[in-house]
């Protein structure tokens, strides 16, 4: 959108300045967007000052994730840390803290995956915490930002399991099941096994054994 002329009210001009900065942001013209958001963030009279401070960080984060500009990461971290520490920032501070965690994951992906894995494997997680963990894990599994880390061998087990499920990699499922002898990997191996596979009878036999083990006592006696 075009800038407003001098006859417009200060509020209307402030709104339009923010709209223009946002248009550059969504057009992925990040250099121009950052410059405009910084100008608004420096304007103490703009109602968009606080939001623009946050958007400077978002712009830098997009530069890092979409344009592979590693130099933008510490700048984004600095911006979000400033907002996260501001007790008057309200929901923007909460969002900034979440994006700081996202930056941690970008810089230390393997450690982030290990941490999420432990949280996913908790026997009785708190529902809200579980929802947050699932959301972070889903993003890590789907975002191109983490594609290189996901392709490495030996990634954390829950992520390995999901990728094996999605790729229908029966050979890998069988290999891991033989190492771990766990029900999740047995399930994957069975899902991908064919009737003529050499391991088919081995997998079916293990499934039958588990079925008997989990039967009620009286039913087991009759069986």
Distance CA 55, CA 41 (A): 9
Does pLDDT of 219 surpass 90?
no
Distance CA 209, CA 90 (A): 55
Of 10-14, 140-144, 161-165, least confident by mean pLDDT is 140-144
Report, as an integer, the average pLDDT of 26-30: 97
CB atoms within 10 A of CB 69: 15
What pLDDT, on a 0 to 100 scale, did the predictor assign at position 4? 92
In terms of pTM, does the model score above 0.75? no
Question: Angle at CA 31, nearest 5°, toward 109 and 148?
Answer: 20
> For the chain, where are the alpha helices, taking DSSP H only?
10-26, 30-41, 49-66, 72-84, 91-107, 109-120, 127-142, 147-150, 157-167, 170-180, 183-192, 200-213, 217-222
Does pLDDT of 218 surpass 70?
no
Does pLDDT of 148 surpass 90?
no
pLDDT digits (tens, 9 = 90+) for 70-79: 899 999 999 9
Residue 212 neighbours by CB under 8 Å, 6+ apart: 220, 223
The pLDDT mean for the chain works out to: 90
CB atoms within 10 A of CB 85: 11
Residue 186 neighbours by CB under 8 Å, 6+ apart: 177, 203, 206, 207, 210
First to last CA, the chain: 76
Does pLDDT of 158 surpass 70?
yes
pLDDT digits (tens, 9 = 90+) for 192-205: 998 888 999 999 99
What pLDDT, on a 0 to 100 scale, did the predictor assign at position 168? 94
What pLDDT, on a 0 to 100 scale, did the predictor assign at position 195? 85
pLDDT classification of 223: cutoffs 50, 70, 90? very low
* Interhelix angle 72-84/49-66, nearest 10 degrees: 150
Does pLDDT of 123 surpass 70?
yes
SS3 assignment, position 213: helix
pLDDT digits (tens, 9 = 90+) for 32-74: 999 999 999 999 999 999 999 999 999 999 998 888 888 999 9
pLDDT classification of 23: cutoffs 50, 70, 90? very high
């Amino acid at each position: 959108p075009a800038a407003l002329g001098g006859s417009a009210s200060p509020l209307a001009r402030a709104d339009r300045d923010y709209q223009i900065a946002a248009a550059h942001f969504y057009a992925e013209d990040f250099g121009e967007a950052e410059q405009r958001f910084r100008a608004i963030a420096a304007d103490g009279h703009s109602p968009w000052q606080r939001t623009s401070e946050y958007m400077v960080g978002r712009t830098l984060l997009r530069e890092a994730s979409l344009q592979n500009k590693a130099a933008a990461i510490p700048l984004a971290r600095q911006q979000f840390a400033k907002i996260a520490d501001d007790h008057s920032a309200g929901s923007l501070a909460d969002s900034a803290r979440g994006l700081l965690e996202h930056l941690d994951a970008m810089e230390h992906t393997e450690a982030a995956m290990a941490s999420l894995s432990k949280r996913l494997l908790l026997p009785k997680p708190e529902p809200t915490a579980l929802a947050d963990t699932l959301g972070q894990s889903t993003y890590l599994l789907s975002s191109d930002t983490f594609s290189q880390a996901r392709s490495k061998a030996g990634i954390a087990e829950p992520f390995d399991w999901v990728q094996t499920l999605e790729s229908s990699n029966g050979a890998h499922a069988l290999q891991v099941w033989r190492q771990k002898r766990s029900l999740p990997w047995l399930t994957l191996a069975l899902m991908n096994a064919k009737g003529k596979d050499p391991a088919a009878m081995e997998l079916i036999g293990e499934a039958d054994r588990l079925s008997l083990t989990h039967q009620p006592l009286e039913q087991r006696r009759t069986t």
